[in-house]
Chain A
Amino acid sequence: MGSAPASDHAPAPSYPAPSYPTGAPSYVADTVRTAAKILVVGHFAVGKTTFVGTLSEITPLRTEEPLSQAGAHVDDLAGVPDKTTTTVAMDFGRLTLSESLVLYLFGAPGQKRFAQLWTDMLQGALGAVILADTRRLDQSFDVMGLLEEYGMPYAVAVNQFDGAPLFPEEEVREALDLLPETPLVTCDARDAASSTKALIALVEYLQTRPIPDDASAAPSQES
């Protein structure tokens, strides 16, 4: 790839002859019929980019989304200097799960003012993994509240940083005020098996939930 890596933590690029700054596109197999998505959310520096990069089979991509300035956002942005250049970054990667199924992982911060980005990410998502850091669990509250508002099911994965204190699961559950059924796992976002297990914990939990009538699980596709 040579220049402008899609993320600080992208795996070594594997594409020849890039004609895009992001490297030559890796196309989805012709046999794929369904694209699902799972969100990877959490506060700054909690490991979202790392998690997506660890699991993605393509070099992770990043987009910068301008903050919407319409409607309810105007008030919100009034105090933001240089509002025209305010953007939020989203990292995403792809995993081929079978001949006919790909899974996209979207990593983005959870903040209320990124409403349009949230709507785009949440629509049709299966669920979310909230990455958390025991040194600042309170910073996870915003994103938890946001997902709950949207009715988006989530699992919490405590990213065990070097030097971060270990807490008994019960203490973490209590501090985060988790529902008894909400999965809580520890993970190392730098490790593929560990990160995969966090996704598995989420999906196993999703399987135990009643199926909503207007299931938002399968992404709606055009035509």
Chain B
Amino acid sequence: MTPARRREQGLVRAYVVTDGRAHPTRNTLDIVTLVNAVTSRPLTGLSPEKRGVMELCRGGALSVAEVAGHLGLPISVVKVLISDLIDSGHIFARAAVPKAQLPDVQLLQEVLDGLRARL
């Protein structure tokens, strides 16, 4: 087997902080935020990429990550596209359960129950 590890503190925190400062963005979308297209909105003036998002999201809800996967775009790019589309009223975020209304304990129990049911 491999030599034992020594628990050590790295410099990751610094990376995160620096990165946060380097990208001050209104974009607070989570990669599992579920999004839908507002089908009544006209697509006039939207870039081809944004039209692509709209077309994909017309059929139902997908997470931000799934939108990226289907469109073959990086998540970082899709987050910006979707943020813009939310601002312009083309996309709405679904499955919004504020943290306070769904305590961790309850969420964890639901996850556990769901996993156990699969066995």
Contacts and interface: CB of A to CB of B under 8 A. Distances in A.
A41 interface: no
A175 B29 CA distance: 38
A153 B105 CA distance: 15
A32 B118 contact: no
Nearest to A22: B70
Interface in B1-19: 1-16, 18-19
Contact of B33 (A66, A115, A200, A219): A219
B72 interface: yes
Contacts of A71: 18-19, 21-22
Nearest to B7: A177
Interface in B63-95: 63, 65-66, 68-76, 79, 86, 92-95
A37 interface: yes
Interface of chain A, main secondary structure: mixed
A8 interface: no
B42 interface: no
B118 to A, nearest CB: 5
Closest 6 CB pairs of A and B: A97-B114, A61-B69, A27-B60, A222-B93, A221-B96, A71-B22
Interface of B: 1-16, 18-23, 28-34, 56, 59-63, 65-66, 68-76, 79, 86, 92-99, 102-105, 107-119
